[in-house]
Amino acid sequence: MSHHEYILGTRGSALALTQSRIAAETVTALYTEHQGHHGTADAAEVVDFILRTVKTEGDVLTGPLATLGGTGVFAAALRQRLLDGENASEENRVDMAVHSLKDLPSAPCPGLVIAATLKREDPRDALVARDGLTIDTLPEGSRVGTGSPRRAAQLRALRPDLEIVDIRGNVGTRIGRVKGLEEHAGKQVVLRQNAETSERADHGVGTERSGDCDAVVLAVSGLKRLGKEELITEYLDPTRMLPAPGQGALALEVRESEFENPDPAVLSDAEVARPVRALGRALLAANHHETRLAVSAERALLRRLEAGCAAPIGAYAQVVEGDLVLSVVVASPDGTDMLRHTSATAELDVPGAERLGVRVAEDLLQMGAAALAGLDLK
């Protein structure tokens, strides 16, 4: 048995740490299981990960997230550490990064590849409201917090009488904006010198106010991973509010040099991708095929529309009875007008999923999506 240890780069927030730990444990467990199934247990490789924090611009800059670089603001520093590769000092080296896929730009990053997508957590949005309220029972004029133009537009379409409040911060500070849940904004878990500590979050990004909203909208996946699912007062079905492309999925990104053939279209086949060391082999074993198909379609749609988190676009794909089905909503920012479109393909591979995403994007553009959502197509 051989043992291999790698550095996993992560942001220092509670959610990022939790997701990185989930990814590390999942990769280790699935690779061990994979080797057992393929009769290589006697000469097994064991992979372990050491977490290393990297501060990103999104952790320190203030202002609306959509104006700060959008989906890339949390990923850039982690990606740079990966790209530094062997040129990085030992204390700065990173071998893998874990991203919330909805926060990752849809365009490929030269030199890096998403080697695995873990099985998707619940992709829905959730309402966390005072007094057990739901979207339909919130009083007229209620203040609902979100930093997402996609959520804001769909909320306005459902309830034009609500006041939408732009909020930022980690999950705890956003929950703390809800009346009666202020205590959740008080502390945050951070990683200092690879040791977890609990620090006051009173002066962090997004903690300027607390208790000033009647509700906030957050991703179910983040609440579940942080053990805060009991705070959800309503799960928002995709028929009412489509999630962000990639929401609920974790992307495991490494340098292309981990594979002799790093083409994303073939990474599901180890014999074609030809990983060069245990890290690549472990990631291929951890990849969840149906999740990979779904997010490939969703992200191909975004790429064709040249849209990021500042665009009011929701998308959700899933495999249903042997077909990959993609549903999309494109809204005007004020939620007064919407386009909805659903299409499917029987091609259950990455190229087929991406073709589906592009085809749906083309259909939406023909229907006027660019003008509706204010997309700046080049």
Tokens of 21: 């730990």
Point out the catalytic residue in the list 52, 102, 177, 255.
Answer: 102
Q: How many CB atoms lie within 10 A of CB 73?
A: 20
| Longest distance between any two alpha carbons in the chain, whole Å | 65
Tokens of 45: 């490789």
Tokens of 246: 């990639």
Q: Which one, of 335, 328, 323, 321, lies nearest residue 365 by Cα?
A: 328
**CA–CA separation, 350 and 267 (whole Å):** 9
Point out the catalytic residue in the list 95, 103, 125, 214.
Answer: 103
Does residue 151 carry a catalytic annotation?
yes
**CA–CA separation, 110 and 253 (whole Å):** 12
Q: Give strand pairing partners of 209.
A: none
Sheet of 2-10: strand order equals 45-53, 2-10, 96-100, 250-255, 112-117
Point out the catalytic residue in the list 124, 143, 168, 228.
Answer: 168
Point out the catalytic residue in the list 124, 125, 156, 309.
Answer: 309
**Cβ(372)–Cβ(153) below 8 Å:** no
Does residue 59 carry a catalytic annotation?
no
Does residue 130 carry a catalytic annotation?
no
Does residue 299 carry a catalytic annotation?
no
Point out the catalytic residue in the list 11, 81, 156, 174.
Answer: 174
Dihedral sign from CA coordinates of 367, 371, 376, 378:
positive
**Cβ(86)–Cβ(242) below 8 Å:** no
Give the DSSP H or E segment for 340. Answer: strand 338-345
Does residue 213 carry a catalytic annotation?
no
DSSP secondary structure of 351-367: HHHHHHHHHHHHHHHHT
Does residue 214 carry a catalytic annotation?
no
Does residue 304 carry a catalytic annotation?
no
Catalytic sites, residue numbers? 102-103, 150-151, 168, 174, 309
